[in-house]
Structure 1
Amino acid sequence: MAVLAFVIGVLVVVIGLALSIALHEIGHLVPAKRFGVQTSRYMVGLGPVVWSKQIGETEYGVKLLPIGGYISMAGMYAPVRKKTRARGVLATLVQDARDANHETLVGVDDSRAFYRLPVWKRIVVMLGGPFMNLLLALVLFTVLYSGIGMNQTTTTIEAVSECVMPAGSAATECGEDDPPAPAYAAGLRPGDRLLSVGGTDVATFAEASKIIQANPGEPLSLEVMRDGVEVDLTITPVLAERELAAEDGTVTTQEVGFAGMTAAVARVQQPIWTGAEATVDGLGRVAGIILQLPVRLWDTAVDLFTGQERDPDGPLSVVGVGRLAGEVAAAEAPILDRVSAMVGLLASVNIALFVFNLIPLLPLDGGHVAIALWDGIKRAWARLRGAPEPAPADATRFVPVALLVVVLMIGMGALLFAADIFNPISIAG
């Protein structure tokens, strides 16, 4: 069963990734068609075509590998009629790009070419793809936090200790010399729901714990709901050493008020804006990873060849994401916990797609946005000087840079593939 669950987890991520890519390309396709650009192909995936269908002027299809996708638009770059004078590999690449761009314009109404669009429309088309990934991440995080809910302690009592044991004690039963726990002495029972402590209404167990910890030796009124009836009790916390966790994760031992009760954990739906907050937090984390990508890739390579444990917050390939999904699906945990983890994983993947595609380098979407902005700046400057409108920016000159980016992306992918196979990040640590 564990193997079957692992395979199902991998398939869920593969399908989720394919859908994310499909929506990304729809984000480009819809505004392109809306603005009248001729689009000849819409493809999800890379490699051999598995299925395709011609609808109007556009061929829609699915390819074998769900690791990419594209739409073909006429005139992605402004045509450049002149031949390059320089010789060499780079000049040949530029000229080949110009020739290929001309081919997309053969038999096409020039007014329907992408480069003919106003700058703002070109930006809308190119940002439409990443925007769909951002929107999908927002929806998934909202489903996760406000739909499924998050596990958190409640004001309902799960268990009551009969005695006070020393901090760090491994004993499982009370000894003769162990004093009775205040909660037990006060008459608290499992299933009671805390309403107020010391005359203060409490909405969370953390609020109740804070009052108890701050008042050792002081009798506190306790109002609980038991079987639908409000019950009044009195509890006197004892001073005891307990391990407390700070917000930064550090754990210290302190003498605080202690009652001897634990809270029940339940899924609680969060406010509707929590999904948006999680999306913003995810953007910050992924942006930080992208900014430090060369260093993180170097660390990944060192860990791969030395066998050291990898940074759990480091970059992953599709293989790594699929492996994590398989482990989540096969974990011995309630089904809802596993579903939650899968939803969060897919949301994080879409955050990564959004941020990565905004890098202002061709062939990424951010590179096309940068070209459009440069075009707009040139035109605005010409208008300010009263000069004739300049020719569109020659984006084909950046083809060597685009090729270098592709080579680096292939190298990065190969490194992360190897690391995720031979030195994987595991949810088990």
Structure 2
Amino acid sequence: MGFATGAVLFAVGIALTIALHEFGHYLIARLSGMRVRRFFIGFGPTLWSVQRGHTTYGIKALPFGGFCDIAGMTSLDELTPEEAPYAMVRKSALRRIATLLGGIAMNILIGVTVLYVVAVGAGLPDPKADVRAVVESTSCVPEQQYDAERFSDCTGTGPAATAGVLPGDIIAAVDGETTRSFGEVAALLRQRPAQVATLTVERDGRELLLDVPVESVTRLVPNEAGELVPTTVGAIGVRGTTPAVWREYSAVSAVPAAVEFSGFMLQQTAYGLAKFPLAIPGVVQSVFGGDRDAESPMSVVGATRIGGELAAGSHWSAFLLMLASLNFFLALFNVLPVPPLDGGHVAIVCYEVIRDRIRRLRGLAPLGPVHYGPIVPIIVGVSALLVVVGVVIIVADIVNPISVL
């Protein structure tokens, strides 16, 4: 499959993710007796719409989001006399919170389901596997790659062996940059042709620093279209061990495995979200020619591009894992207690509950829904900030994209 087709497939996956997130809100709202005015996927000009009952369903031109317009979602929402009995603000706090969390729950359900499919079809990565960069062997470095399997002849021990690298060594860092896997070691060395790299090597409980000359070699590397093109990269003549990082499951054992691995991915996603603000300056620098961290935030543009790369290389398990990761990210991002995110609205409802319980203890009547007037500047400010950050990341994904292959 080509890059373009894979990218389109991943874009469709993103659109379905957004649609199902909004459907989560829609479903709980309808079950809770609320009225949904509009259910749209995308933003901007309307491409298609249809009226069914009290709800208008449609698709808009920009597939970067969506919305489920529930009557009376906030106290500022104007209601018709007919809508008033079905307004969200008239419902119990429990129903309002359930509706607000419906999209988040749907994203988690999608993520777990996708992981179950991967577990049954190909297995899942083992989070406890030892993936450190353990050297299996050293060799000379072929200067030329002819196709996926054929290389030019070479002789000698190779730069790694000459510098003192031995089988069984663990390469813990390259030029002071920590490496957690052999893939990271290879990626850093590819960027250093005709240089000298300082390897931090762990051997028998000791840490050694070895200066290794990096040779310039020609390898076939996928371009943006997924085509293999000759590229000059660095190599030192080491081969890493192949850890057992994937485990296979039956249709039954895949259920707990998918749930357990979902917990692991949610934990990693939460860790990434915590680092998100610190990563933005690096993304801005990458727009103007700076190096792009492979773990920096990506937009739907960057995710779609990587989806295309994975599909072009027939890496379908990784393709689906990335789609699951996107759902977990959307779930945790929307949990953040900041309006206009779902978690922000949940926080306001929780405040109402606590406030009114305190008032009851004081013998006072409840005040009802919070007036959103004073909160509007916060919503506008956060929305503007999210738009600006989103645009910056999209630009970075265009001018300095991340590649996984």
Matches of 1:145 and 1:391, distance apart in 2: 47
- CA shift, 1:393, in A, is 1.1
- CA pair 393-321 structure 1, distance change in 2 beyond 3 A: same
2:248 is aligned with 1:269: yes
| 1:168 paired residue number | 138
| 2:5 paired residue number | 8
Name the SS for the 1:394 alignment partner.
coil
Specify the code of the residue in structure 2 equivalent to 1:290: L
Of 72, 80, 98 in structure 2, the residue corresponding to residue 106 of structure 1 is: 80
- CA shift, 1:110, in A, is 2.1
Summarize deviations over 1:35-91 as a string: whole Å, max 9, x none: 11111111111122222221111111111222111111111112xxxxxxxxxxxxx
| 1:132 paired residue number | 106
- CA shift, 1:400, in A, is 0.7
| 2:91 paired residue number | 117
| 1:242 paired residue number | 167
Matches of 2:271 and 2:106, distance apart in 1: 21
Matches of 2:358 and 2:109, distance apart in 1: 35
Matched pairs, number? 312
Matches of 1:370 and 1:171, distance apart in 2: 59
Give yes or no for contact 1:28–1:127 (8 Å, CA) kept in 2.
Answer: yes
Matches of 1:347 and 1:364, distance apart in 2: 20
2:7 is aligned with 1:24: no
Give yes or no for contact 2:43–2:60 (8 Å, CA) kept in 1.
Answer: yes
2:57 is aligned with 1:74: no
2:19 is aligned with 1:37: no
- CA pair 32-171 structure 1, distance change in 2 beyond 3 A: closer
- CA shift, 1:246, in A, is 8.6
Specify the code of the residue in structure 2 equivalent to 1:310: R
| 1:350 paired residue number | 327
- CA shift, 1:130, in A, is 0.8
Matches of 1:423 and 1:140, distance apart in 2: 29
Of 304, 308, 319 in structure 2, the residue corresponding to residue 322 of structure 1 is: 304
| 1:359 paired residue number | 336
| 1:410 paired residue number | 387
- CA shift, 1:167, in A, is 5.2
Matches of 2:6 and 2:12, distance apart in 1: 10
Matches of 1:319 and 1:70, distance apart in 2: 20
Specify the code of the residue in structure 2 equivalent to 1:311: D
- CA pair 63-243 structure 1, distance change in 2 beyond 3 A: same
Specify the code of the residue in structure 2 equivalent to 1:31: I
Give yes or no for contact 2:28–2:99 (8 Å, CA) kept in 1.
Answer: yes
Matches of 2:370 and 2:137, distance apart in 1: 70
| 2:354 paired residue number | 377
Matches of 1:380 and 1:296, distance apart in 2: 41
* 1:83-98 equivalences in 2 (<5 Å): 98=76
- CA pair 341-167 structure 1, distance change in 2 beyond 3 A: closer
| 1:65 paired residue number | 62
Structure 1 alignment gaps of length 5 or more: 79-97, 153-165, 174-240, 256-261
Specify the code of the residue in structure 2 equivalent to 1:289: G
- CA shift, 1:407, in A, is 0.6
Give yes or no for contact 1:242–1:253 (8 Å, CA) kept in 2.
Answer: no
TM-score, structure 2 normalization: 0.70
Specify the code of the residue in structure 1 equivalent to 2:263: V
Matches of 2:125 and 2:339, distance apart in 1: 43
Name the SS for the 1:71 alignment partner.
strand
Name the SS for the 2:2 alignment partner.
helix
Matches of 2:51 and 2:398, distance apart in 1: 39
Give yes or no for contact 1:5–1:330 (8 Å, CA) kept in 2.
Answer: yes
- CA pair 264-17 structure 1, distance change in 2 beyond 3 A: closer
| 1:425 paired residue number | 402
Name the SS for the 2:351 alignment partner.
helix
Runs of 4+ in 1 over 3 A off after TM superposition: 169-173, 244-255, 262-268
Give yes or no for contact 2:169–2:201 (8 Å, CA) kept in 1.
Answer: yes
- CA pair 57-149 structure 1, distance change in 2 beyond 3 A: same
- CA shift, 1:348, in A, is 0.8
Matches of 1:139 and 1:147, distance apart in 2: 12
Matches of 1:283 and 1:106, distance apart in 2: 41
Name the SS for the 2:167 alignment partner.
strand
Specify the code of the residue in structure 2 equivalent to 1:379: D
Task: Please report the RMSD computed on the Cα atoms of aligned residues, expressed in angstroms.
Answer: 2.9
Give yes or no for contact 2:285–2:291 (8 Å, CA) kept in 1.
Answer: no
Matches of 2:66 and 2:357, distance apart in 1: 34
Matches of 2:320 and 2:85, distance apart in 1: 43
- Higher mean alpha-carbon deviation, 45-54 vs 342-351, is at 45-54
Matches of 1:368 and 1:265, distance apart in 2: 44
Specify the code of the residue in structure 2 equivalent to 1:353: L
